[in-house]
């Protein structure tokens, strides 16, 4: 038995994997990874895979990055963890100072959580609690865009709208208000991204006008709706949203968990709209993809509304055991050093242009409706019929065919339904981008070649997606 097969057998005897129908592994091989280096992951039989999706969008400077490794090792020698209530430590203080310095002016307080979904819970609870502390107890609903994804905990699911993940749990979810997304894939033919995003804002304006007294916050994934299929929109929407949130006295929460740290072409997506959200939620690439951590940044106005004598019961009594873990902070500090020292955002421009060039030909593919890109995120939408953008039935799992082909060629591409995408680490080379584009083209050819002989059950979600 190969080493891979041996590890797979042991795994399948005891593990339950995330976002997986475990029965798939009766047919699909599970890939046990022995080591990682740069953009490469290597399995136990020595086969290598180019990590085109940054291991669920977290890895920006490569696996086993020597600079991040060294910083974590150094931290390990002095302090692995201490609770952050009543105690503090150098890495948390330094990281908070640096996050305040690099995010838009006005975000002056940092609260930590230990994964993206928990960071979303913090922002939602803080917003609701702020209004309560201000005597506005009616403001307790959240507005979200259709096709959003904000995580898997119950409140985070409530502000999400990817049916595959949320429909089953509907009975458990908060009563949120859903507004049609400015998703530019859905724009009328010939309309620009800007004009479409601007036009779609009318729905948001109406909702805010009608429900202002009951809305605590609007939450958005700025510029890219990731798990919803890497759907993209124009920054003008965020500009309009900021202005309207101010006008209607509603908080704006930016979930930059997936898009923060350079993915959209600027360090943070909100910079492209020139706005400051009331809450900025960061995670994933925050630690370079090493350790789970989230940071929620907010304003002095929000912070002050909680600051009072204990007996007033205005404090934010929310905690996660590993809040501000020193090893995660050390990984984040090393990650910020690399951003600063290596001029990453500027260098990424050439890589983004290379991704565009390498996939340009796919625009003419008979089963590709769109090749879209925002900075270092590029997505290719496969369709049954190009005219009218007719989607493949989700049950056909066309993306899975691309995934399997890519594995055979030594690349990790994990499509979202019929959307093949690249979210590579920023240490990828131009030649490696060309290789990915070649593998994706072959995979798309194979996946779209024939009719797929599956019996289509009726009902169920309209899309097959995967949370990154």
Ligand X SMILES: Cc1ncc(COP(=O)(O)O)c(C=O)c1O
Strands 215-220 and 294-299: unpaired
Closer to ligand X by CB, 149 or 233: give it: 149
Restricting to residues 304-363, which ones interact with ligand X according to CB under 6 A?
none
- Please tell me whether residue 283 binds ligand X under the rule CB under 6 A: yes
SS3 annotation, 130-185: HHHHCCCCCCCEEEEECCCCCCCCHHHHHCCCCHHHHHHHHHHCCCCEEECCCCHH
The Cα–Cα gap between 128 and 123 comes to 9
Strands 107-113 and 294-299: antiparallel
How far, rounded to the nearest angstrom, does the alpha carbon of residue 396 sit from its chain's CA centroid? 25
Q: Is 150 annotated as a binding residue?
A: no
Closer to ligand X by CB, 276 or 281: give it: 281
The Cα–Cα gap between 207 and 193 comes to 22
Choices 24-32, 220-228, 340-348, 450-458; region in contact with ligand X by CB under 6 A: 220-228
Q: How far is the CB of 46 from ligand X (least distance, A)?
A: 30
- Please tell me whether residue 149 binds ligand X under the rule CB under 6 A: yes
Closer to ligand X by CB, 133 or 181: give it: 181
Q: Is 417 annotated as a binding residue?
A: no
Torsion (CA) 324, 269, 285, 435 in degrees, nearest 10: 180
Q: How far is the CB of 149 from ligand X (least distance, A)?
A: 6
Q: How far is the CB of 317 from ligand X (least distance, A)?
A: 22
Backbone angles phi, psi at 293, to 5 degrees: -165, 145
Restricting to residues 48-77, which ones interact with ligand X according to CB under 6 A?
none
Closer to ligand X by CB, 265 or 468: give it: 468
- Please tell me whether residue 269 binds ligand X under the rule CB under 6 A: no
Other CB atoms within 10 A of residue 183 CB: 19
Q: How far is the CB of 254 from ligand X (least distance, A)?
A: 10
CB 224 within 8 A of CB 423: no
Q: Is 23 annotated as a binding residue?
A: no
Choosing from 84, 227, 269, 413, the residue that interacts with ligand X (CB under 6 A) is 227
Closer to ligand X by CB, 60 or 444: give it: 60
Closer to ligand X by CB, 131 or 149: give it: 149
Closer to ligand X by CB, 258 or 391: give it: 258
Which residues, listed in sequence order, are joined to residue 368 by a DSSP beta bridge? 382
Which residues, listed in sequence order, are joined to residue 370 by a DSSP beta bridge? 381
Restricting to residues 151-170, which ones interact with ligand X according to CB under 6 A?
151
Residues 6+ apart with CB under 8 A from 147: 161, 162, 181, 183, 225, 228, 229, 231
Restricting to residues 159-218, which ones interact with ligand X according to CB under 6 A?
none
Choosing from 43, 51, 161, 255, the residue that interacts with ligand X (CB under 6 A) is 255
- Please tell me whether residue 229 binds ligand X under the rule CB under 6 A: no
Restricting to residues 100-119, which ones interact with ligand X according to CB under 6 A?
115-117
Q: How far is the CB of 189 from ligand X (least distance, A)?
A: 29
Q: How far is the CB of 26 from ligand X (least distance, A)?
A: 27
- Residue count at the site for ligand X (CB under 6 A)? 16
Q: Is 319 annotated as a binding residue?
A: yes
Q: Is 320 annotated as a binding residue?
A: yes
The Cα–Cα gap between 362 and 358 comes to 9
Residue nearest to ligand X (CB): 116
Q: Is 49 annotated as a binding residue?
A: no
Q: Structure tokens of 173? A: 């979810």
Closer to ligand X by CB, 115 or 441: give it: 115
The Cα–Cα gap between 287 and 328 comes to 6
- Please tell me whether residue 411 binds ligand X under the rule CB under 6 A: no
Q: Is 335 annotated as a binding residue?
A: no
Q: How far is the CB of 135 from ligand X (least distance, A)?
A: 31
- Please tell me whether residue 257 binds ligand X under the rule CB under 6 A: yes
- Please tell me whether residue 150 binds ligand X under the rule CB under 6 A: yes
Q: Is 7 annotated as a binding residue?
A: no
For the stretch 126-159, what's the b/e string if a residue is b when 16 or more beta carbons lie within 10 angstroms of its beta carbon?
bbbbbbbbeeeeebebbbbbbbbbbbbeebbbbb
Q: Is 40 annotated as a binding residue?
A: no
Using CB atoms within 10 A of its CB, is residue 110 exposed (0-12), middle (13-18) or buried (19+)? buried
Q: Return the DSSP state at 343.
A: T
Residues 6+ apart with CB under 8 A from 57: 226, 258, 263, 284, 285, 423, 468
Closer to ligand X by CB, 115 or 147: give it: 115
* Whole-angstrom Cα Rg for the chain: 22
Between the alpha carbon of residue 214 and those of residues 132, 423, 467, the distances in Å are 12, 37, 30
- Which parts are annotated binding residues for substrate? 56, 149, 284, 319, 414
List, as residue ranges, the binding site for pyridoxal 5'-phosphate. 116-117, 255, 320-321
| Positions in the binding site for ligand X (CB under 6 A) | 115-117, 120, 149-151, 221, 226-227, 255, 257-258, 283, 467-468
Residues belonging to the binding site are 56, 116-117, 149, 255, 284, 319-321, 414
């Amino acid at each position: 038995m190969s080493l891979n097969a041996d590890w797979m057998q042991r795994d399948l005897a005891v593990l339950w994997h995330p976002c997986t129908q475990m029965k798939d592994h009766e047919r699909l091989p599970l890939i046990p990874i022995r080591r990682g280096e740069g953009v490469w992951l290597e399995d136990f039989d020595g086969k290598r895979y180019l990590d085109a999706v940054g291991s669920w969008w977290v890895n920006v400077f490569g696996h086993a990055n020597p600079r991040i490794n060294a910083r974590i090792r150094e931290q390990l020698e002095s302090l692995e963890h201490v609770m952050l209530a009543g105690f503090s430590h150098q890495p948390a203080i330094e990281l908070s100072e640096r996050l305040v310095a690099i995010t838009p002016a006005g975000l002056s307080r940092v609260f930590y959580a230990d994964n993206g979904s928990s960071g979303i819970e913090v922002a939602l609870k803080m917003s609701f609690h702020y209004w309560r502390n201000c005597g506005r107890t009616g403001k307790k609903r959240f507005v979200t865009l259709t096709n959003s994804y904000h995580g898997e905990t119950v409140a985070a699911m409530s502000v999400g709208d990817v049916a595959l993940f949320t429909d089953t749990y509907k009975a458990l979810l908060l009563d949120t208000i859903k507004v049609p997304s400015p998703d530019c894939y859905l724009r009328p033919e010939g309309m620009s991204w800007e004009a479409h995003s601007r036009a779609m804002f009318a729905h948001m304006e109406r909702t805010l006008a009608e429900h202002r007294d009951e809305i605590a916050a609007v939450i958005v994934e700025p510029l890219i709706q990731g798990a919803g299929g890497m759907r993209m929109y124009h920054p003008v929407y965020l500009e309009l949203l900021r202005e309207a949130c101010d006008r209607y006295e509603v908080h704006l929460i930016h979930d930059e968990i997936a898009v923060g740290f350079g993915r959209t072409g600027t360090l943070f997506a909100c910079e492209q709209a020139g706005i400051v959200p009331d809450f900025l939620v960061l995670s994933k690439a925050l630690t370079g993809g090493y350790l789970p951590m989230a940071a929620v940044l907010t304003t002095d106005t929000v912070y002050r509304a909680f600051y009072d004598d204990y007996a007033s019961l205005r404090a934010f009594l929310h905690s996660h055991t590993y809040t501000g873990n020193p090893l995660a902070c050390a990984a984040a500090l090393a990650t910020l050093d690399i951003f600063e020292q290596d001029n990453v955002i500027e260098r990424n421009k050439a890589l983004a242009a290379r991704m565009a060039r390498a996939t340009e030909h796919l625009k003419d593919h008979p089963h590709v409706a769109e090749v879209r890109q925002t900075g270092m995120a590029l997505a290719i939408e496969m369709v049954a019929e190009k005219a009218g953008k007719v989607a493949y039935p989700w049950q056909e799992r066309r993306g899975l065919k691309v995934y399997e082909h890519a594995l055979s060629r030594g690349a990790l591409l994990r499509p979202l339904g019929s959307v093949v995408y690249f979210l590579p680490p920023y240490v990828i080379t131009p030649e490696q981008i060309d290789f990915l584009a070649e593998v994706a083209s072959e995979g798309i050819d194979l996946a779209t070649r024939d009719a797929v002989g599956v019996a289509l059950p009726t009902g169920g979600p309209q899309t097959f997606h995967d949370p990154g």
